[in-house]
Amino acid sequence: MGTETNDGTRISAAAWRTALLCAAATFVFVMDSGLLSIAFPKLSAAFKGTSRATLSWTSSGYSVAIAALMTFTGTVADRLGRKKVYLGGLTLYTLAAVAAGSATNVWILIAARVLQGAASALFLTAGLAIAIVAFPAPRRATALAVWGIAGSAGAVVSPTVGAAVLDTWSWRWAFIGLACFAAMALGVGLWLPDDRAQATGERPPDPVGVALAAGGIAVIVLAIVRSQMWGWVDVRTLGCLAAGLAVLPIVGYRSIRHPRPLIPPELRRHREYLVLSLACLVQQIAFFSYFFSLPLILTGAWHWSTLHAGYAMAISMAVSAAVVFPAARWVERHGYTRLVLIGAAIGAASCLWWMLTFKVTPNTWWALAPGLAVFGVGSSITGNFMTGAALRHVPASVMGQGNALHQMGRRIGGAIGVALTIALIGESRDRSPLLAGGRRAWVLLIVVHLLMSVLFLIGQIPQRHRTAEAIPSR
């Protein structure tokens, strides 16, 4: 049994089952991101002697670890077998989550979060590859939609159930809860079909290039999160930024000269892939900035409980989940361009709404809810389908590495988004400075959505010698 599309392409029941089983991975990943954002005020209160800039590494370190290992894990999954790597990643994540929940100081917590990031790189890369190859090429937007709706479900559960756990017990139980969800994903993952035939002898890409790229990004993130403490013109801030940026041309040079480059020539020459992957990086700056700024403002400026702030965030994510499948059908019939541009526009509109309506004195749901719903629609469209647009013309021979590099860029965007948000909001816990910092973050979100739109349009400019597209671009 299965389903058949309008063009006669059949999706087997086995493909649906595989996509649903693998979707547990993105549920855990988004649960992690959402739970940490809602838990951040609690962590700040628990580690009173630690600045927000240092605590932000519980998120940034996680994202940088994923980014650093994404290119390796894609090749490792192809070499050892995707199912084996997927299950191994979930096992490691479960153990690291228990370690985070048991941390006795902030540095142990950050180290456990980095280990969780490494584990996430394993199960995300392998899980997405398993799900995508199970579907016929013309229907892979539907496979991405399955992942998108599972991620949206995780984003709904994390601020609600997570907030209830945080209010009832402590931040430690939030990480123990993540371990439980990962263990359940591991259990259902055992039912995935065996994939030994997919294993290859391909070696990972240039390890020095990967290490340099990860180190450069980490130093740039450090400069951003410490900018308010050091000052933007301080020699330490400028030195970190210069060192991080100086690494990029070295990585580019090694990609040209190395026999197993970080960025293979098929991708270096693929303008659409490069530009749209950059647009996705920018989109993740916006998403993670939103996810971190709003709970801080609601709990700090409006003095809402963690639970009420979690319910507010859940509205946005519930709307996001409801939009995924209708948007996937639109993409299959009409292409990505108009839909993504609309998503970016309404995402920017939600931030403008908050800038106009938020006050220091709580003005409750009438100011908050419309922006939450609108942002949910925009983030669902841009977050879920820009990846499909970026990968649609990538040659099959480099699809694994292309997806890994793309996901690496998204994680870098998330780390930068958190860093910029902490830098803009600052360390104050008073109402007026917090709300002023929130408004600065919303200005950043508007600019980022505009930049995302410009990059997406540039990526649509026709390029010669492309492979035939599976999904229309109009």
For residue 237, CA distances in Å to 50, 70, 232, 241 come to 20, 27, 6, 6
Q: How many whole angstroms separate alpha carbon 212 and alpha carbon 191?
A: 38
The radius of gyration of the chain from alpha carbons, rounded to an integer in Å, stands at: 21
- Residue pair 101/75 in contact (Cβ under 8 Å)? The answer is no
| Both structure tokens of 198 | 């997919």
pTM of the model: 0.76
SS3 label, residue 11: strand
Backbone angles phi, psi at 60, to 5 degrees: -65, -40
Position 255: which residue type?
S
> Concatenated DSSP letters for 403-428?
HHHHHHHHHHHHHHHHHHHHHHH-S-
Which residue, among 164, 209, 172, has the nearest Cα to 71 in the 3D structure?
Answer: 209
User: What is the model's pLDDT at position 195?
Assistant: 66
Q: How many whole angstroms separate alpha carbon 369 and alpha carbon 360?
A: 17
The length of the chain, given as a count of residues? 474
Q: How many whole angstroms separate alpha carbon 324 and alpha carbon 35?
A: 21
Listed as ranges, residues in the chain with pLDDT below 70 are 1-9, 136-141, 144, 195-204, 225, 228, 360, 362-364, 396-397, 400, 462-474
User: What is the model's pLDDT at position 327?
Assistant: 84
> Concatenated DSSP letters for 326-364?
HHHHHHHHH-SHHHHHHHHHHHHHHHHHHHHH--SS--H
Q: Which residues is 4 bridged to in the sheet?
A: 10
Give me the helices (H) in 258-305, please.
265-268, 271-300
User: What is the model's pLDDT at position 282?
Assistant: 93
User: What is the model's pLDDT at position 354?
Assistant: 87
For residue 351, CA distances in Å to 259, 348, 443 come to 46, 5, 7
Going 183 to 188 to 189 to 194, the CA torsion angle's sign is: positive
- Residue pair 414/283 in contact (Cβ under 8 Å)? The answer is no
For residue 53, CA distances in Å to 104, 116, 424 come to 19, 20, 11
| Both structure tokens of 92 | 């490691």
Q: Which residues is 11 bridged to in the sheet?
A: 3
Which burial class, exposed, middle or buried, applies to 45 when counting CB atoms under 10 A from its CB (0-12, 13-18, 19+)? exposed
Count other Cβ atoms within 10 Å, centred on residue 88: 19
- Residue pair 251/212 in contact (Cβ under 8 Å)? The answer is yes
SS3 label, residue 277: helix
Within a 13 Å sphere around the CA of 383, how many CA atoms are in the beta-carbon half?
A: 28
User: What burial letters (b/e) apply to 288-314, b meaning 16+ CB within 10 Å?
Assistant: bbbbbbbbbbbbbbbebebbebbebbb
Q: What H or E segment, with its residue span, contains residue 179?
A: helix 171-189
User: What is the model's pLDDT at position 421?
Assistant: 87
DSSP assignment, residue 385? H
- Residue pair 101/175 in contact (Cβ under 8 Å)? The answer is yes
Q: How many whole angstroms separate alpha carbon 200 and alpha carbon 358?
A: 55
- Residue pair 135/147 in contact (Cβ under 8 Å)? The answer is no
